Amino acid sequence: MDPGTKLGPYEITEQLGAGGMGEVYLAQDSRLGRKVAIKVLPAEFASDPERLARFEQEARAAAALNHPHIAVVHDIGTENGTHFMVQEYLEGDTLREPLQRGALPLKKALGLATEIAEALAAAHAAGIIHRDLKPENIFVTKEGHAKVLDFGLAKLTEVAGAGSPGGATQSPTMMGTVAGQVMGTAGYMAPEQVEGSDKIDHRADLFAFGCVLYEMVSGVRAFSGRSIAETLAHIQHDDSQPIQESDPSLPDELQRIVRKSLAKEPAKRYQTAGDLVVDIQALGTDVESGVAALPATPVAVETSRGIPWKLAAPIAILLVVVAALLGWWAREPEPGSTIRLQLDPLVDTIMSGLGSAVVLSPDGRHVAYVDGAPNTGGRALYLRALDQQDSTTLASSATTAGSPYHPFFSPDGQWVGFVTPAELKKAPITGGTPQSIAPVERSRGADWGPDDTIVFAPNPASGLFVVSAVEGEPGPLTELSEGERSHRWPQFLPGGKAVLFTSAGTGGFDRANLEVVDLATGDRQVVHRGGTYGRYVPTGHLVYSNAGALFVVPFDLDTLETTGSPIPVVENLPADDQGGVSFDFSETGMLIYHMRNGGASSGFQLAWVDRDGQVEPLPFEPRESQYLDLSPDDQRIALTIRGDDGEWDIWIYEIERGGSQVLLTTEGNNRNPVWSPDGEWLFFRSNRGGNFDIFKRRADRSLEAELVLDTEANVYPMSISDDGEMLLFASGLFGNQDVGILALDTGDTEILVDTPDDEFWASFSPDGRFFAFHSNETGQYEVYVREVSSGRTFPVSTSTRGGWWPLWSRDGREIYYRSFNSPGILVAEVDLESFSASDPVELSDIEMRAIGNFDVTADGQKFLVTVPVGTDETGGTAPGTRLNVVLNWFEELNRLVPTGGS
């Protein structure tokens, strides 16, 4: 935001800072003639309901407080779509700045501690818990007083009451109401926060206060480790070192206050911040008067053996240490305890499909993740240090001329590589312009080797290539054999001499092979059959995904052979036929994976949504589903559902007849159901004959399925003309699909849209003269209409919004579609005579499944969609995306699946 920009009566002067929850500017209040600090929610998050709720909650929580040691919130507002909060302007530094130089003088530390505790007491009395107290959120003014900042993680408790400015009803569900969700900053979280407990109260703030007080008087953190996992484990299981180890002159009473604040069990801590204030003030008085009890100073006396006491005590301590070490060496080592927790990625949707969208740095200190659905124009790549709450944007569609996906770290953790539909790129974790490495065409994965070589799949239907991460021309590594459709998702094995990858044929990725290729010779070896996205784990295991689950099998790195049977270790993950389970692990033994609330199979439910966005869930059990089609009489739903065996089948749901469910297909993988205009037949794609061809079967199942279109081109049925004579289909592999037409009486076919780009999801106009489809001809998907006879093509969506999954209304007057910058459904009015389309209007902002089609009733008043489980009649949902973390996962793998020598 440039100097001179006005937000209501406030004129921006300069930028003061930025973080994941907003940018902070110095501004001038023209009404009162004073300086103010304005926190502005970044534009890319303004449409994010979850972030917006957190931003507004911070303002309400802080505005509800009136205390000299809490930063004052003056105002909150919106100007031309910009959401902002106005706060008092403070001059000074955060507490972190002086702590970087070491411990504070004791009197200064106690004075600030008293003011911080008084601020917490006032907040707790108002029913507000901070939940992220740390030196970065405590400001020390130039006069030397404390101001507590940032109530963005505050959980409003029942004390506030529903009607108060910060009432409990204003608290978004992501603010810690989900059991197992971790909120806060590593190193300052209470043990109950680390455990993800849903019973967090004000005593968590008192533990964080103890951490801050410990650091102020000792100059070191109360709990720290070489990794986030180690830090959190210390919080849960270890006591902090006595503060007198850093400064023997510190009073015993101060050690008692710190120890009581840092008690593992909330019941053993201080029960109120007010009690803390009393004890700290009393200690401050004693220190000021010089009567504070200090540690006893040893007196130099002779022992019976002539050893001075000053030496006797250290020798005794040394003997104790040696004895402890000998005992530790002799005992059987205990396996590391496994800790499970959840992290909030601060986005609505983690991308699914096209490989893992969540990756860890080798040292486990950073996570990179991608939000949004595949192939949309609005995705972004984020980086988050796991000891911080905020994320930063490394790349977005606005900065990379294409949406980023499939991130991967460099071996030193200083770079994040990623791909866009057109380029292989890298970005430094410190920020900056992403750098291009090599051209691609919708890559299917990459990995960074120890010698700065990157191996990658340049497109969805090719072998693997290698290229220097610095500069150079890509060179081929593998070639497709007969029957193979793709080599993808590579991973360098230890030593960088061989690469593990997925080899997929036409039978689907659940029946793919995991292979290894020698970089020097090019020799290939199949190491496991069945599954995709294989990853070697240093414990001597292979981990791979299959049918929405992670499987693990022992693996001998010398012989490149599995040495046991696979078992599932994580199940019910969101996945698709592209091998799209998002998981990764660090060299420190941390596992991270993406799971929707309730798992994948219960993540979405069928529902009606009217044109105003009102939701009416349908009485069907949520199941993992993809494509749907509403029968011409609006009474039945044909739906693609993944079964327990991992195969996709077509089911028919009866809406009015008691909600019965009928299985239409039982052989092979079956998808893309399309009703005939008379409602008697269902057309669908199936690989029961080897390739994906088009079949049809009577909806009453009185006849077996029969082949309609036999081709080698991998086809999808999409729409049938109202006269029942013509069927639109897509042909080709994802990323390079074309639209064709099939005469159902003669079997003749013609490709109508044949380009190097990706065209998909066609829908006939009711009169059969036109069809709508989406294409990425411009670099992102747009909706177009094409006249069948002449081939003339007309744009419908605009490049500023993008669009895909078009659907024609039954009366032919409207085209509905989805957009990248709007969560719901857009509608454009069309004139079939001239052909022309109006500017799109958003009908509803209901959150739907990120990728997939929808349908509409004959009268155009209700839409059949899939929405996250828990969506209510207003369109609100429970949090839909979580990143699950398992600490000490390597130890758990060795216990679950012993390798016999690893």
Catalytic residue positions? 132
The backbone torsions φ and ψ at residue 488, rounded to the nearest 5 degrees and listed phi first, read -155, 175
Q: How many Cα atoms sit within 13 Å of 851 on the Cβ side?
A: 22
**Rounded CA gap, 1 and 786, in Å?**
42
Q: How far is CA 820 from CA 47, 178, 594, in A?
A: 11, 28, 21
Count other C-beta atoms under 10 Å from residue 901's C-beta: 8
What is the DSSP secondary-structure string of 513-526? EEEEEETTT--EEE
- Give the N- to C-terminal CA distance of the chain in Å, as an integer: 55
Q: How many Cα atoms sit within 13 Å of 348 on the Cβ side?
A: 25
Is residue 535 within 8 Å of residue 587, measured between CB atoms? no
The backbone torsions φ and ψ at residue 134, rounded to the nearest 5 degrees and listed phi first, read -165, 165
Say what angle helices 106-125 and 273-289 make with each other, to 10 degrees: 160
Name the region of 112 (left: φ>0; alpha: ψ -120 to 50; beta: rest). Answer: alpha
Supply angle C-alpha 221, 226, 386, rounded to 5.
80
**Rounded CA gap, 597 and 625, in Å?**
16
Q: How many Cα atoms sit within 13 Å of 491 on the Cβ side?
A: 23
Place of tokens 């939940």: 131
| Residue 557 exposed, middle or buried by CB count within 10 Å (0-12, 13-18, 19+) | middle
| Residue 379 exposed, middle or buried by CB count within 10 Å (0-12, 13-18, 19+) | buried
Q: Which residues contact 143 (CB under 8 A, 6 or more apart)?
A: 92
Length of the chain: 902
Place of tokens 């103890």: 210
H-type helices in 605-697, by residue range?
Answer: none
**Rounded CA gap, 126 and 132, in Å?**
17
What is the DSSP secondary-structure string of 835-859? TEEPPPEEEE-----SS---EE-TT
Using DSSP, state whether 793 is helix, strand or coil.
strand
Is residue 311 within 8 Å of residue 317, measured between CB atoms? no
Is residue 864 within 8 Å of residue 848, measured between CB atoms? no
**Rounded CA gap, 64 and 160, in Å?**
10
**For the chain, what percentages of helix, strand and coil (3-state, to nearest 5) are there?**
15, 35, 50
Structure tokens at 569: 């270790």
**Rounded CA gap, 380 and 820, in Å?**
12
Tell me 241's DSSP state: P
Is residue 425 within 8 Å of residue 437, measured between CB atoms? yes
**Rounded CA gap, 901 and 634, in Å?**
61
Say what angle helices 273-289 and 203-218 make with each other, to 10 degrees: 20
Using DSSP, state whether 727 is helix, strand or coil.
strand
What is the DSSP secondary-structure string of 378-429? --EEEEEETTSS--EEEEEHHHHTS--EEEEE-TTSSEEEEE-SSEEEEEET
Residues in a beta bridge with 162 = none
Going by C-alpha positions, the residue among 130, 148, 150, 131 that lies closest to residue 139 is 148
Place of tokens 């502005």: 40
